């Protein structure tokens, strides 16, 4: 199994669920994580990543960390200073139309969104609300492009787009696609030589569907045009995703593997969870399992069954522990507080 991993955690793309998978694998195999200084949750995002943002990194010692997976703005020469040269690089992408709809709800406080009532209103005159000089502009335009380290306001000429795609391909071994999450997990398992149980998950950091609304076609087209760079990234890597599956796995085996994954997840849900699945924040009984609530989104969570035996309780709890709590727990394990 591969143990040296860089995961670029792209915002609002099921990346918290992937992070939980990496946290569990790293914890089980006693791997080290490149944590943000002081145990924060982002690597000084939205600044480009620098090695010095990592707790325990020193330019004088050649210490390398196994897994880098917290939010960052990608800059490969700096990333290479903190992970082994053998590391596998991957990320996850989401259709930019849904991604921006999600961003709009989640980052409602961002300067570009705070004075509009709807995405339609924003897209009718984006430059009335969007300021390319504001420090949080990336939440409102080409968010994936920004996370990969590029300029979200860059021109979208075919030449520029090709250069960007080539640069991403040169840095990353493969891409996952959040709309095909189960297929992505099968691909991840294949690429990292992991077993099925290492890639099972319950969806984390997902929002209540009551805050989602379908977008009219006219808005969809405007969203694609406004996020043209993201759209080009998504279309390209959605294609290569399926090409890789055809080449390395095949559709028939993919179907079998996805079925096995879903059956295992359903079995774990029956074993671990009260009720049928996720619940609204107000219904989460164990406060340590409550996810961070942000913007206008209602982020769902889970209740564990009572009376599970110790080993099983631990397995189940890890599957539903929200990102911030899990990150803090692993940080304290890796950097135990000094006794008084």
Average pLDDT over residues 119-138: 96
Rg (CA), the chain: 20
Other Cβ atoms within 10 Å of 338 Cβ, number:
5
Residue 221 CB contacts under 8 Å (≥ 6 apart), including other chains = none
Average pLDDT over residues 103-113: 93
Is residue 1 predicted with pLDDT exceeding 80? yes
Average pLDDT over residues 238-243: 98
Average pLDDT over residues 296-307: 89
How would residue 259 be classed by pLDDT, with cut points 50, 70 and 90?
very high
- Strands (DSSP E) contained in the chain are 5-8, 67-68, 88-93, 174-177
Average pLDDT over residues 310-325: 96
The 3-state DSSP class for residue 218 equals helix
What pTM value is reported for the model? 0.95
The 3-state DSSP class for residue 5 equals strand
Residue 99 CB contacts under 8 Å (≥ 6 apart), including other chains = 11, 12, 13, 143, 144, 227, 230
How would residue 178 be classed by pLDDT, with cut points 50, 70 and 90?
very high
Please state which of the ranges 25-29, 166-170, 276-280 shows the lowest mean pLDDT: 276-280
- List C-alpha distances in Å: 175 to 117, 183, 195, 315, 338: 34, 12, 19, 27, 40
Alpha-carbon distance of 200 to 221, in angstroms, equals: 35
Predicted confidence at residue 275, as pLDDT, reads: 85
Q: What is the mean pLDDT of the chain?
A: 95
Residue among 41, 35, 126, 128 nearest 82 (CA): 35
Predicted confidence at residue 152, as pLDDT, reads: 97
Helices (H) and strands (E) in the chain, counts: 13, 4
In the CATH hierarchy, which fold is given to the domain comprising 5-325? Rossmann fold (3.40.50)
Q: Helix 15-28 crosses helix 310-320 at what angle (to 10 degrees)?
A: 150
């Amino acid at each position: 199994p591969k143990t040296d991993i860089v995961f670029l955690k792209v915002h609002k793309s099921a990346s918290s669920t992937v992070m939980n998978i990496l946290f569990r694998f790293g914890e089980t195999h006693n791997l080290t994580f490149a944590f943000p200084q002081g145990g924060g949750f982002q690597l000084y995002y939205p600044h480009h990543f620098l090695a010095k943002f990592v707790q325990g990194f020193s330019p004088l010692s050649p210490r390398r960390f196994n897994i880098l997976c917290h939010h960052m703005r990608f800059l490969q020469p700096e990333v290479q200073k903190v992970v082994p040269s053998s590391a596998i690089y991957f990320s996850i992408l989401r259709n930019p139309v849904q991604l921006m709809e999600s961003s709009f709800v989640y980052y409602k406080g961002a300067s570009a969104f705070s004075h509009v009532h709807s995405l339609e209103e924003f897209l009718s005159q984006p430059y009335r609300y969007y300021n390319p000089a504001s420090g949080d502009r990336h939440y409102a335009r080409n968010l994936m492009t920004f996370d990969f380290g590029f300029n979200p306001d860059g021109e979208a000429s075919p030449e520029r787009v090709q250069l960007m795609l080539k640069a991403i391909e040169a840095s990353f071994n493969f891409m996952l696609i959040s709309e095909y999450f189960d297929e992505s997990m099968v691909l991840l398992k294949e690429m990292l030589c992991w077993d099925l149980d290492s890639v099972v998950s319950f969806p984390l950091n997902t929002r209540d569907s009551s805050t989602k609304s379908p977008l009219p076609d006219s808005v969809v087209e405007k969203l694609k045009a406004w996020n043209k760079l993201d759209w080009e990234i998504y279309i390209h890597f959605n294609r290569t995703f399926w090409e890789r599956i055809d080449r390395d796995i095949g559709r028939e085996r993919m179907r079998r593997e996805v079925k096995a994954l879903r059956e295992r997840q359903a079995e774990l849900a029956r074993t671990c969870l009260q009720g049928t699945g996720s619940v609204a924040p107000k219904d989460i009984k164990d406060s340590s399992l409550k996810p961070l609530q942000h913007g206008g989104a209602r982020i769902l969570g889970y209740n564990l069954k009572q009376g599970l035996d110790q080993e099983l309780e631990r397995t189940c709890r890890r599957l539903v522990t929200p990102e911030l709590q899990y990150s803090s727990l692993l940080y304290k394990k890796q950097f135990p507080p000094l006794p008084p």
